[in-house]
């Protein structure tokens, strides 16, 4: 039987260049003909946002940003954009900042220019997420896909080493989940494999020397590939677990992904040998889990959900919330029993494999 698949490539302009963020941003605003720009950045990210937007006439800077995009924060930001007659959103920051810009775009249709300073990857997807009453809801809508992404590795220098590692492993989770997500195909698997190679090469460099710009460029490149693969392949078992944990117990996004990833890989790999072989080849190891665990050991990655705010008594509730969200196409059937075992090991920090 011949190769048969359906693939959709999202249309987006990408500008990549270290030290060029301010120049690229000004050029894009002019190209788009925007008159009233709303810059979105968290309080921590605001100094960087002010620096790279100093050359543009921004109508306002909005810094009321929170992880997992609480619905009340989204409504405030939406009303602010409408009240100020905004015609362009510029997000400068990580996944939470990009997520808030997407929440505005979802209801207003305003275009977004994203300037990432982490490796979250949200900027390259048409996926949105909102949290209400400790429940995180996600969806897909082309209105939230940024029209332009501006990558500048120098901006990631403000990211502490530990968060750089966790954010990079979050990007790696996009790659690995894309290998067996509901809409996986050979194109996004190829992008994901190249993303794994780039992240596996770059993360140890910036872990040992956080100021190494070529290493940060490599990781930023890998993070972009991971997000493009994820946007095409869809959200798999790993992301369903992490979205529930993050939304329900307000756990840190990147670190939660970093902890859960090896457990999902160990769970699915025996039932997805083709994907496992591709992952292993990207790590240049005989075994996919060996490659991931070696990288995690090198990086000193976080290991236990108990250290991130999940109580052991919450595991049963987590299982009940996660089970209905697991894609039917997951390579291995997920049951209440085996999901409990997986989360119990991730909670304790037991190394899978």
Query: Is 146's pLDDT higher than 90?
Result: yes
Positive or negative, the Cα torsion across 15, 18, 23, 25? positive
Average of per-residue pLDDT across 277-291:
97
Contacts of 313 (CB under 8 A, 6+ apart): none
Q: What percent of the chain has pLDDT over 70?
A: 99
Query: Is 44's pLDDT higher than 80?
Result: yes
d(CA 128, CA 243): 12
Q: Nearest to residue 52, comparing CAs of 13, 12, 93?
A: 93
d(CA 179, CA 188): 8
Token pair for residue 177?
């989940």
Query: Is 353's pLDDT higher than 80?
Result: no
pLDDT tens figures, 170-202: 999 999 999 999 999 999 999 999 999 999 999
pLDDT tens figures, 63-74: 999 999 999 999
Burial of 302 (0-12, 13-18, 19+ CB in 10 A): buried
Domains 13-156 and 160-348 belong to one CATH topology: no
Report residue 17's pLDDT band, with 50, 70 and 90 as the boundaries. very high
pTM of the model: 0.92
Token pair for residue 106?
């979802």
| Whole-number average pLDDT of the chain | 95
pLDDT tens figures, 203-244: 999 999 999 999 999 999 999 999 999 999 999 999 999 999
Q: Of 3.40.50.300, 3.20.20.140, 3.30.1450.10, 3.40.50.1970, which CATH number belongs to 13-156?
A: 3.40.50.1970
Of the CA atoms within 13 Å of residue 99, those in its CB half-sphere come to 26
Report residue 1's pLDDT band, with 50, 70 and 90 as the boundaries. low
Annotated domain spans of the chain: 13-156, 160-348
Q: Of 1.20.1090.10, 3.40.50.2300, 3.30.9.10, 1.10.10.370, which CATH number belongs to 160-348?
A: 1.20.1090.10
CB atoms within 10 A of CB 182: 12
Q: Nearest to residue 226, comparing CAs of 172, 190, 262?
A: 172
Contacts of 210 (CB under 8 A, 6+ apart): 157, 160, 161, 164
């Amino acid at each position: 039987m011949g190769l048969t698949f359906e693939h959709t490539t999202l249309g987006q302009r990408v500008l990549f260049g270290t030290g060029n963020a301010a120049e690229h941003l000004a050029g894009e605003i002019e190209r788009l003909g925007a008159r009233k720009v709303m810059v979105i950045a968290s309080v921590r990210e605001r100094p960087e946002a002010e620096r790279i937007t100093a050359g543009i006439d921004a109508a306002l800077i909005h810094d009321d940003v929170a992880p997992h995009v609480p619905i009340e924060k989204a409504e405030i930001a939406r009303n602010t954009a409408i009240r100020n007659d905004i015609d362009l959103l510029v997000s400068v920051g990580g996944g939470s900042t990009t997520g808030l810009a997407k929440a505005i775009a979802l209801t207003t249709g305003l275009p977004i220019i994203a300037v990432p300073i982490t490796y979250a990857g949200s900027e390259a997807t048409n996926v949105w997420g909102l949290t209400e009453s400790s429940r995180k809801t996600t969806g897909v809508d082309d209105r939230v896909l940024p029209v332009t992404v501006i990558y500048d590795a120098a901006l990631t220098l403000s990211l502490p080493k530990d968060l750089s590692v966790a954010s990079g492993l979050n990007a790696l989770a996009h790659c690995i989940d894309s290998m067996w997500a509901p809409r996986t195909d050979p194109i996004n698997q190829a992008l994901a494999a190249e993303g794994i190679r780039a992240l596996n090469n770059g993360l140890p460099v910036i872990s040992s020397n956080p100021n190494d710009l070529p290493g940060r460029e490599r990781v930023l490149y890998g993070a972009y590939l991971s997000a493009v693969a994820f946007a095409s392949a869809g959200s798999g078992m790993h992301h369903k677990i992490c979205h529930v944990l993050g939304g329900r117990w307000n756990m840190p996004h990147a670190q939660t992904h970093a902890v859960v990833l090896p457990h999902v890989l160990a769970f699915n790999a025996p039932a997805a040998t083709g994907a496992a072989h591709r992952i292993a080849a990207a790590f240049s190891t005989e075994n996919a889990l060996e490659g991931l665990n070696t990288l995690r050991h090198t990086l000193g990655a976080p290991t236990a959900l108990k250290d991130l705010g999940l109580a052991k008594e919450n595991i049963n509730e987590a299982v009940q919330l996660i089970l209905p969200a697991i894609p039917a196409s997951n390579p291995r059937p997920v049951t209440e029993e085996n999901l409990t075992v997986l989360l119990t090991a991730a909670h304790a920090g037991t190394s899978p494999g």
